[in-house]
């Protein structure tokens, strides 16, 4: 029996190039919003940390706005892909570091920006990881967190989590907006702003990218087909299994007293 980390490394280590080439990961309005926020708030001399960097798309997008980015991930294959792609793009100020999110091998108050994109739903120790991200931020530093949103409606959320797990054994949970606000406040982040966008998922490429076994693909389709009308409408499930989820972006600051206060964003 394998640990969750081993499963995660197995799932993504062999798929690094596929994630580098994935249109869902390589583009999107969330990346444009991230660039705008960082460009306005972080000085050009700023130091940034990308936690769970995957194939490096967030690091590449933010690189023009900061002096240094540390792209951190537990997968050596992902980090090798990031390093090669950064060199090909002439982004010599991106460096890589192998580590998990819940135990960052970095000093306190050493970054102006800590960010993460499409990674947190894989973390088994999310609360600890957020506290670590808060620890390495300078006073008044910024957090940028982008991930697939869970659903506030329990019925819809149960179906979303089920198809995510069937497709990807390393999936843990997509958090709803209300859950994210509570988690960020507890970790010591304040002035939380939020934005979101619908993302259309092409089913054939979605399961192919993860090399989901045919038996599990069939199970996903059964869950979708048998889902009640409310789920079909909320996830916009199409005849071929394609559907729509929501990407959420959270922008916050490290609170001076270590206690977060959620605000409307």
Nearest by Cα to 119 from 81, 145, 86: 145
Task: Establish if 162 belongs to a structural domain.
Answer: no
Query: Does residue 110 lie in a domain region?
Result: yes
Residue 132 has pLDDT above 70, yes or no: yes
Q: Which residues of 40-57 are buried (b: 16+ CB within 10 A; e: fewer)?
A: ebbeeebbbbbbbbbbbb
Residue 206, domain member (yes or no): no
Q: Using one digit for the tens of pLDDT, what is the confidence trace for 175-228?
A: 999 999 999 999 999 999 999 999 999 999 999 988 999 999 999 999 999 999
Contact between 97 and 67 under an 8 Å Cβ cutoff? The reply is no
211 within a domain of the structure (yes/no):
no
Residue 221 lies in a domain: no
* 51 band by pLDDT with thresholds 50, 70 and 90: very high
Task: Report yes or no on 34 lying in a domain.
Answer: yes
Whole-model pTM? 0.90
Mean pLDDT value of segment 80-84: 94
Residue 222 lies in a domain: no
Mean pLDDT computed over every residue of the chain: 91
Please report whether residue 159 resides in a domain: no
pLDDT at 256: 72
Residue 15: pLDDT above 80?
A: no
Q: Look at residue 110 and tell me whether its pLDDT is greater than 70.
A: yes
In this model, does residue 259 exceed pLDDT 50?
no
CA 220 to chain centre: 22
CATH at residue 191: 3.40.50.150
Of residues 17 and 93, the one with the higher pLDDT is 93
Give the pairing type, strands 243-254 and 111-117: unpaired
* Structural domains of the chain, count: 1
Q: Name the residue range of residue 126's domain.
A: 4-151+172-200+245-254
């Amino acid at each position: 029996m394998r640990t969750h980390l081993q499963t995660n490394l197995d799932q993504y280590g062999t798929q690094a190039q596929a994630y580098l080439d994935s249109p869902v990961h390589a583009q999107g309005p969330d990346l444009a919003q991230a660039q705008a926020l960082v460009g306005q708030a972080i000085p050009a001399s700023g130091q940034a940390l990308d936690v769970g960097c995957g194939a490096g798309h967030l690091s590449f997008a933010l690189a023009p706005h900061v002096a240094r980015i540390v792209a951190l991930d537990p997968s050596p294959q992902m980090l090798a892909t990031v390093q090669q792609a950064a060199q090909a793009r002439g982004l010599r100020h991106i460096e890589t570091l192998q580590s998990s999110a819940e135990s960052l091998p970095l000093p306190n108050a050493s970054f102006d920006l800590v960010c993460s994109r499409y990674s947190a739903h894989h973390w088994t120790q999310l609360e600890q990881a957020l506290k670590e991200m808060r620890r390495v931020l300078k006073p008044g530093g910024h957090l940028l967190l982008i991930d697939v949103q869970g659903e506030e409606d329990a019925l819809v959320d149960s179906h979303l989590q089920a198809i995510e797990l069937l497709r990807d054994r390393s999936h843990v949970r997509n958090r709803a907006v209300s859950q994210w606000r509570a988690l960020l406040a507890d970790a010591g982040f304040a002035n939380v702003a939020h934005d979101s966008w619908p993302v259309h998922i092409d089913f054939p490429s979605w399961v192919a990218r993860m090399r989901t076994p045919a038996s599990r693909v069939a199970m996903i389709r059964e869950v979708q087909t048998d889902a009640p009308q409310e789920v079909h409408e909320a996830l916009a499930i199409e005849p071929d299994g394609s559907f729509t989820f929501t990407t959420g972006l959270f922008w916050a600051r490290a609170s001076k007293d270590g206690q977060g206060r959620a605000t409307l964003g």
